[in-house]
Amino acid sequence: MPLFEPTSTSSTDELLGSDVATRALSVTAVETDFVNSVYDKLAKVYDFTFGPTLHPGRVQAIQRMGVQSGDRILEVGVGTGINAGLYPRDCAVTGIDLSSSMLEKAHDRIARKEIRNVRLLEMDASDMAIENNSFDIVYAPYLISVVPDPVAVAREMRRVCRPGGRIVILNHFRSSNGFVAWVERAISPFTVHIGFKSDLDLPAFLAQAELSPVSIEKVNIPRIWSLVTCVKD
């Protein structure tokens, strides 16, 4: 089995479509305070509600990173620190999140498990207080469909990633099936209350964020989640 499943011809054609650079990413708009309040509420139950069901995607994402000894990794949207124990102990991980309640859970987790290669910072992903080219790998697990401005977050991820480094995005994106996409648009104003927009447009997002994927893989069961890997040129 190949390491990556490259995008199909039809997917590539869609990524290069003429309207992707201007079309709306979602029918749903959210504000930072709203997102923060949702995740403050979810902090106590996140590991139980989104832990086991989304875990295979987390494991596959870190496997695909090919982490090397000494690599500097930025996890954008570290949440409760659910990924902390998955990283090799010989890399250096920085996890950022806007939710203080989520970060409190993450601090408890890494202290309880005696994880010493992960540091946590409270920070807005769309305006990171981080220098350019600071990380070898920049990873956003289940975050991009949550934030008010996905493109701003992706551009910040690219900025802080070193040339030749990897930008990895694990997320749900709108289906290419017309009927399913219609349903996802219809329910998106409601799914934001449990932490994500169900109708985020992947081709438009990639075009507007100026990211070129080297692979797009479907993960989890059902396979409605995408693992997108890009390399900063």
What's 205's domain CATH number? 3.40.50.150
In a domain, 205, yes or no: yes
- Tens of pLDDT along 8-27? 434 444 444 458 888 889 98
**What's the pTM?**
0.88
Question: What are the tens digits of pLDDT across the range 151-186?
Answer: 999 999 999 999 999 999 999 999 999 999 999 999
Question: In this structure, is residue 121 part of a structural domain?
Answer: yes
Task: Please report which confidence band the pLDDT of residue 3 belongs to, taking 50, 70 and 90 as the band edges.
Answer: very low
Q: Give a yes or no: residue 85 inside a domain.
A: yes
176 CB contacts (<8 Å, ≥6 apart)? 11, 14
Burial class (CB in 10 A: 0-12, 13-18, 19+), 121: middle
Is there a domain that residue 3 lies in?
no
Q: Which domain holds residue 111?
A: 9-231
> Tokens representing 184?
């996802």
CA neighbor of 64 nearest in space, from 223, 210, 214, 224: 214
Give the total number of structural domains in the chain: 1
Q: What is the number of residues in the chain? A: 233
